[in-house]
Every structure is written in C-alpha cells, then in structure tokens.
C-alpha cells in the first residue's frame, strides 16, 4: 500500500495526478491515519526543499563576488550574452536567476535619513548604497539588521548578506541560525546571537560579538575562529587579529526609533541653530563639529555623527588623537567644556576627552578633561587642590554619576569651571550632576592639546566625538540643559 501511496503523492506533488488517482489518494488518506502521517512528511519535505531553494545561490555566482561598480556592467554583459546564447541550459539559469532576483528577501522597517531606502521598501537580490543615515531591515527569517552609512551591501539570500563597506549590527533569532555576513576580507557565520561587522573602505573587516557565538573566517585562511560574547577580531589579507570590543561603534536596533523620531521632529535644525548662536558668542574659544574645512595633523577616522551625513571623529587604535591649539597662552578665569560622545567600554584607566600637552608645574591651571576608570568624568587643573571635606575618591574633581550607559549611545558631557567661585560643576545629558569645591583654583590654561589622547602617555579614548565646545565663560544650568536639548539626536 505504501508504494502506491508514495507514487500517488509524487504525482500529486508534480501536478500530474489524474482525477481517478486523486480519488484513490483521498480514500487512502481518509481511511488510514498512518497514511496521513506519511503524506504530511512528504509535503513537509516539499516545503523544506522550496525553502532551501529560496536561499540557494548558484555556484558560479558564489565563486565570483561582485565588486563595487562592477555590477551594472556585469548585468549588461550577462543580458546581452543571454540574448545571443543558443544554449538552452544557460537560458533557463538566466530566467530563474531573474525570477529569484525579484523575490523579497527583507523589508526596510526603519529609515533614518537614508534617502535611498524608504521605510517599507522591499529588499531584493540587488546592490544597495546608502550615502547617509542608517536603515533597519528585517529579513524573511526575522534577522534584524541596522546598517549605517556610508554603506554598500547586497542581500544574496534571506540568510546571506554581502557587505562591501559600511557598519551593521545584527540581531539573529534562533530561526535564522546560520545567517552569514560576507565581507571582502572574510565571513561571519552567526550561531544565534547579536554581533556587529565594520567594513572599511579598504575592505578590511572587523567582527564584534555582543552576545552568543559567531564563527569568523578570514578569506583564504584555512581555519575558522569561534568568537563568543565580548570577542572581536579584525580580518585582513587572510589574517585575523584580536581587537577590543567596540559596542558603541554600531547603531543598535533599539536606537533607530528614537533617532528617527528626533529627525522627524526637526531636532537637526534646532541643533544647528544653537551651534550658530554659540559661534557668535564673544567668549567662544573653539567649536569643533568635524565637518569639512578642519584638517588637523592628527590620527583618527571620520565617521558619521549624530545626524545623517554629518561627521564625527572616531578613535579606535591606541595613539589615535586629534591635535588642537586654541585658547593661546592666556588665562581663562571661567571655562565651559562640552561634547557629544559615543563611548565604548573602558579598556584603560583613563580615556582622554581633552588633554593639554604635558603636566607642568610651570603652567598652573592647565586642563585635563577625561573619563576615569571609575567611569566618572574628571576635570583636573594643574596645581588645583580639593576643598577640605570633599568626598572625591582621588585627588581630582569627579562626576558623581557614571558617564557610560549600558550600551553605546550618544551622550552629552559638560563641565563648567569657575576659578573665582572655586567650583567645578558636572553635567550629564544636560542634567546637573554635582559640584566640587576647590581650595586652590588657578585660572584655566589651554594651548596645544589633544582630543582622544595625551602626548605623554597613552590615554586612548575609545569611541566617537561629535561637536566639542570650549567656551571662555561659565554656562549656567539652564544654558547647559538648552544645549543638550537642542542637540539631542534621540526623542
């Protein structure tokens, strides 16, 4: 009976079953529970085969990764070739390849300032480029991807994403285990987890695992590497090297809604209006926004800032820094320092926000602004001392609250120094945090300085700095709050 059932099922699946045979199949299934189970398994196999076929990519396409710019000409050549080809087999391949290219592999669920990809857009097997902003996609299997500009990428199947450049964070549910990110210098295969991939313009790629497990394989390398939560590697020319985890380098899915809402609400225009006002402030010493026209002899990357297409500096490697020489040799009785930063976890005891060069007895009042191993913000001035009874754990004024939130997000840090009132005041995201009193309080001194490091000893900052303000007067609480509120990229 089973053999009869099997051949009937095949003909049913093929669509070649006759009316007579269908009646027989129906009566077999009606009569016998075991036959129904067998039938369910055959149909289930058919589903699984269709799913595998949807994710499948023909071998010749796999072997020839498409490089940036090549695709259009490749497609033209391909079509012309097709038209001319007499070979039937090739025609069939072309036809189904074209059909496969029409399938929706993922949907854009959020678009923040990425004009090329609107919310709701269907992602097919095609190369997409975003010049600014970020997009969130959900694949057919439920992988949530956030891709940040500038980026060029292509979904090859619902389970395979090729990234030519750009940054992405991926949140992969168990149903999509095996989701693979292919880069010019290696692959990352997910085993059910959250991770980030950063592909630079040169094609070098970094894989950062936030949670779970990822298999990383550098192109041309015979060995694979298992990465666990907290691990990171850089892949280049067939080699993998261990890196420090940089969670803040990747926009996570949770941020996208807030970033989009702020942009829609016109936050960017508000931020620009406040910037313009600050630029006209007679006490302005410097306002760095990292947009064009500032070429410092420095070592840092330029990446996207808080707004789509805007720029920020990013410090990744030990020694990365930005040189600055402002404020001259004069004394500043009052000084306000503020910056929008996106920090990674602390790898070193100190991370530099702004360090004037050296630490010299002959230059009392020189400024060192940093994040400490206690994850507080510190403002140290050479020669200053704490007032008696202060509760600081070390010898310098520190904020009370940690500056590092659980996940890398944009935060606004500010400190206001007043040598006449002998106070240092700290602000986190516009909120007054704490005031520290000083016994000796020299006027502040600036001059040659570094952002993101110190010239004497490495005090690497790990993360992005966007909009750094130095103002030669003391801002009040309301003013700091207003600067934060106008510049906040979240809503």
Partner 1 sequence: MSPAENEVHNRFLRLFTAHEPAVRAFVRRLVPMRADADDVMQDVSVVLWEKFGSFREGADFRAWAFGVARFEVLSWLRDRGRDRLVLDGEVALKLADESAELETRLTRQREALEACIEKVPAEQRELLMQAYQPAASIQQVAQGSGRSVPGFYQWLHRMRRALLDCIQRTLTQNPTT
Among 10, 62, 228, 373, interactor with partner 1 by CB under 8 A: 10
CB neighbour list of residue 488: distance below 8 Å, 6 or more residues apart: 262, 267, 410, 412, 429, 430
If binding is defined by CB under 8 A, does position 15 make contact with partner 1? yes
The one segment of 71-79, 97-105, 384-392, 396-404 that binds partner 1 by CB under 8 A: 97-105
If binding is defined by CB under 8 A, does position 261 make contact with partner 1? yes
Among 86, 88, 297, 478, interactor with partner 1 by CB under 8 A: 88
x/- letters, 217..256, toward partner 1 (CB under 8 A)? ----------------------------------------
The one segment of 40-48, 67-75, 282-290, 348-356 that binds partner 1 by CB under 8 A: 40-48
Q: Which two tokens stand for residue 345?
A: 């976890």
Site for partner 1 in 156-185 (CB under 8 A): 173, 175
Site for partner 1 in 119-138 (CB under 8 A): 138
If binding is defined by CB under 8 A, does position 49 make contact with partner 1? yes
The one segment of 37-45, 195-203, 265-273, 476-484 that binds partner 1 by CB under 8 A: 37-45
* Least distance between partner 1 and beta carbon 40 (Å): 4
Distance CA 48, CA 323 (A): 59
- How many CA atoms are closer than 13 Å to the CA of 80, on its beta-carbon side? 6
Q: Provide the 10 A C-beta neighbour count for residue 34.
A: 11
Q: Which two tokens stand for residue 409?
A: 């997000």
CB neighbour list of residue 324: distance below 8 Å, 6 or more residues apart: 286, 288, 296, 354, 448, 449, 450, 451
If binding is defined by CB under 8 A, does position 269 make contact with partner 1? no
Among 4, 26, 211, 226, interactor with partner 1 by CB under 8 A: 26
CB neighbour list of residue 10: distance below 8 Å, 6 or more residues apart: none
If binding is defined by CB under 8 A, does position 359 make contact with partner 1? no
Among 1, 4, 41, 77, interactor with partner 1 by CB under 8 A: 41
Q: DSSP code of 211? A: E
Residue 233 burial by CB count (10 A; 0-12/13-18/19+): exposed, middle or buried? buried
If binding is defined by CB under 8 A, does position 62 make contact with partner 1? no
Among 1, 43, 77, 101, interactor with partner 1 by CB under 8 A: 43
If binding is defined by CB under 8 A, does position 265 make contact with partner 1? no
**Cβ atoms 137, 147 nearer than 8 A:** yes
Q: Which two tokens stand for residue 435?
A: 């005031």
Q: DSSP code of 366? A: B
Among 105, 108, 140, 471, interactor with partner 1 by CB under 8 A: 140
If binding is defined by CB under 8 A, does position 37 make contact with partner 1? yes
If binding is defined by CB under 8 A, does position 153 make contact with partner 1? no
CB neighbour list of residue 182: distance below 8 Å, 6 or more residues apart: 65, 156, 160, 161, 162, 163
If binding is defined by CB under 8 A, does position 2 make contact with partner 1? no
Distance, CA of 371 to chain centre: 22
If binding is defined by CB under 8 A, does position 191 make contact with partner 1? no
Inter-axis angle of helices 33-55 and 19-31, nearest 10: 120
If binding is defined by CB under 8 A, does position 40 make contact with partner 1? yes
If binding is defined by CB under 8 A, does position 490 make contact with partner 1? no
Helices (H), 265-393: 267-279
**Cβ atoms 467, 487 nearer than 8 A:** yes
C-beta closer to partner 1: residue 52 or 276: 52
Among 68, 76, 77, 95, interactor with partner 1 by CB under 8 A: 95
The one segment of 8-16, 198-206, 212-220, 419-427 that binds partner 1 by CB under 8 A: 8-16
Q: Provide the 10 A C-beta neighbour count for residue 43.
A: 13
C-beta closer to partner 1: residue 91 or 395: 91
C-beta closer to partner 1: residue 99 or 362: 99
Distance CA 302, CA 310 (A): 10
C-beta closer to partner 1: residue 49 or 440: 49
If binding is defined by CB under 8 A, does position 56 make contact with partner 1? yes
Length of the chain: 491
* Least distance between partner 1 and beta carbon 388 (Å): 51
C-beta closer to partner 1: residue 13 or 274: 13
CA neighbor of 227 nearest in space, from 200, 204, 245 = 245
* Least distance between partner 1 and beta carbon 265 (Å): 11
Q: Which residue is listed with tokens 């902003």?
A: 133
If binding is defined by CB under 8 A, does position 393 make contact with partner 1? no
**Cβ atoms 137, 105 nearer than 8 A:** no
Partners of 135 in the β-ladder? 111, 147
Classify residue 155 as left (phi > 0), alpha (psi -120 to 50) or beta: beta
If binding is defined by CB under 8 A, does position 118 make contact with partner 1? no
Peptide bond into 343 cis (omega under 30): no
Q: Which residues bind partner 1 (CB under 8 A)?
A: 6-7, 10, 12-19, 22, 26, 29-30, 33, 36-37, 39-54, 56, 58-59, 88-89, 91-93, 95-96, 99-100, 103, 109, 138-142, 173, 175, 257, 261
């Amino acid at each position: 009976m089973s053999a009869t059932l099997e051949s009937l099922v095949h003909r049913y699946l093929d669509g070649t079953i006759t009316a007579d045979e269908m009646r027989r199949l129906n009566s077999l299934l009606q009569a016998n529970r075991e036959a129904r189970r067998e039938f369910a398994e055959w149909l289930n196999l058919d589903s699984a085969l269709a799913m595998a076929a949807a994710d499948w990519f023909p071998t010749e396409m796999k072997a020839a990764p498409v490089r940036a710019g090549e695709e259009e000409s490749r497609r033209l050549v391909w079509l012309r070739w097709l038209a001319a080809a007499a070979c039937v087999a090739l025609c069939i391949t072309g036809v189904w390849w074209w059909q496969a290219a029409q399938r929706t592999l993922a949907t854009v669920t959020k678009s923040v300032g990425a004009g090329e990809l609107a919310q709701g857009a269907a992602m097919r097997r095609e190369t997409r480029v975003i010049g600014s902003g970020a997009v969130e996609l959900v694949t057919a299997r439920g992988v949530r991807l956030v891709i940040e500009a500038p980026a060029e990428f292509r979904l090859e199947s619902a389970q395979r994403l090729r990234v030519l450049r750009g940054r992405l964070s991926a949140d992969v549910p168990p149903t999509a285990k095996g989701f693979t990110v292919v880069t010019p210098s290696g692959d990352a295969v997910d085993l059910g987890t959250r991770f980030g991939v950063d592909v630079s313009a040169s094609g070098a790629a970094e894989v950062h695992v936030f949670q779970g497990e990822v298999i990383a394989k550098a192109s041309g390398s015979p060995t694979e590497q298992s990465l666990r939560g907290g691990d990171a590697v850089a892949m280049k020319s067939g080699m993998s090297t261990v890196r420090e985890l940089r969670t803040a380098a990747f926009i996570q899915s949770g941020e996208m809604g807030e970033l989009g809402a702020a942009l829609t609400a016109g936050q960017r225009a508000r931020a620009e209006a406040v910037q313009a006002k600050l630029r006209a402030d007679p006490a302005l010493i410097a306002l760095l926004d990292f947009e064009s026209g500032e070429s410092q002899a420095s070592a840092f990357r330029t990446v996207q800032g808080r707004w789509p297409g805007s720029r920020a500096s990013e410090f990744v490697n030990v020694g990365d820094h930005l040189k600055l020489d402002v404020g001259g040799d004069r004394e500043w009785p009052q000084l306000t320092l503020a910056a929008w930063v996106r920090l990674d976890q602390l790898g070193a005891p100190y991370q530099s926000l702004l360090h004037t060069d050296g630490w010299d007895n002959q230059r009392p009042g020189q400024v060192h602004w940093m994040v400490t191993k206690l994850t507080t913000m510190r403002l140290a001035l050479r020669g200053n001392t704490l007032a008696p009874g202060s509760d600081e754990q070390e010898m310098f004024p520190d904020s009370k609250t940690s500056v590092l939130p659980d996940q890398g997000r944009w935060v606004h840090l500010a400190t206001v120094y007043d040598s006449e009132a002998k106070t240092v005041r700290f602000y986190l995201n516009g909120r007054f945090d704490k005031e520290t009193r000083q016994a000796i309080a020299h006027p502040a001194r600036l001059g040659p300085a570094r952002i993101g490091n110190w010239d004497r000893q490495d005090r690497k900052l790990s993360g992005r700095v966007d909009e750094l303000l130095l103002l030669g007067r003391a801002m009040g609480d309301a003013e700091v709050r207003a600067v934060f509120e106008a510049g906040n990229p979240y809503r």
